[in-house]
């Protein structure tokens, strides 16, 4: 019994070292906490493009409510292999006006960035 538990533990530890786990699933490009949606904020997935020698991730936040909403956001950039590009950008805060919109963006000098994920929270 104890040998089975030890073997299982070793197997799980080795599986954690697999090279398959070094890449990140970039199919989810937008992560929004429920309270952001409850506050009336909507958006599209971020777009990434090259501009002035840098990769720039952009999107627009829309406020469906009759009062301004302060939103904190952070973009994460990934290369074609799904690896996160460093350095990480610090979270930023923007106030989306009542029944209005706010353009947000982040840029990186790493031209290998091909995907961006946006994380929104209050």
In a domain, 116, yes or no: yes
* Domain annotation covers residue 66: yes
Please check whether residue 64 is in contact with residue 99, taking contact to mean a CB–CB distance below 8 angstroms.
yes
- Is 5 within the bounds of a domain? no
pLDDT of the residue at 25: 52
User: What's the domain range around 32?
Assistant: 25-121
pLDDT attached to residue 114: 85
Classify residue 113: in a domain, yes or no. yes
Count of structural domains, the chain: 1
Tell whether 3 is covered by a domain. no
C-alpha neighbours within 13 Å on the C-beta side of residue 54: 10
The domain that holds 69 is classified in CATH as 2.60.40.3230
What are the pLDDT tens digits along the chain (122 aa)? Answer: 544 433 444 443 444 443 343 344 557 789 999 999 999 999 988 999 888 888 899 999 999 999 999 999 999 988 888 888 887 789 999 999 999 999 999 988 788 888 889 999 99
In terms of Cβ atoms closer than 10 Å to its own Cβ (0-12, 13-18, 19+), residue 20 is exposed
Q: Which pLDDT does position 96 carry in this prediction?
A: 98
User: Is residue 72 domain-resident?
Assistant: yes
- Position 50 in a domain: yes
pTM of the predicted protein model: 0.74
Please report whether residue 17 resides in a domain: no
φ and ψ of 84, to 5 deg? -70, 135
């Amino acid at each position: 019994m104890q040998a089975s538990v030890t073997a299982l533990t070793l197997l799980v530890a080795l599986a954690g070292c697999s090279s398959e786990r070094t890449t990140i699933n970039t199919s989810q490009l937008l992560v929004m906490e429920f309270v952001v949606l409850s506050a009336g904020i909507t958006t599209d997935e971020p777009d990434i493009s090259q501009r002035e020698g840098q990769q720039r991730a952009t999107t627009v936040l829309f406020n469906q409510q009759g009062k301004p909403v302060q939103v904190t956001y952070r973009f994460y950039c990934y290369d074609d292999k799904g690896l996160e590009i460093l350095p990480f950008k610090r979270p930023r805060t923007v106030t989306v006006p009542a029944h209005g919109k706010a353009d947000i963006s982040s840029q990186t000098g790493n031209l290998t960035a091909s995907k961006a994920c946006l994380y929104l929270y209050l």
